[in-house]
Amino acid sequence: MPNRKTLAISPAKISLIVILIVALLAATPVGVYYRTIVVDGNPSDWAGIPPIVTD
């Protein structure tokens, strides 16, 4: 069945797209902001006020 070959290739393409999206998000200020929250683990950061505003 030709569909089996398509299904075998699709997951690789999907994961590649997801990796690209994650990489793009990580390169944006929003990505840096969320990574800062994860690294710092500061609950007050979840108030929705980015550190850029207080800079």
**pLDDT at 15 exceeding the cut of 60:** yes
Burial 16-30 (b: 16+ CB within 10 A, else e): eeeeeeeeeeeeeee
pLDDT tens for each residue of 18-55: 888 877 776 777 666 666 655 555 555 555 555 555 44
pTM summary value: 0.36
Structure tokens of 39? Answer: 């690294």
Distance CA 12, CA 18 (A): 10
Write out the H or E segment, with its range, that includes residue 5. Answer: helix 2-27
What one-letter code names the amino acid at 11?
P
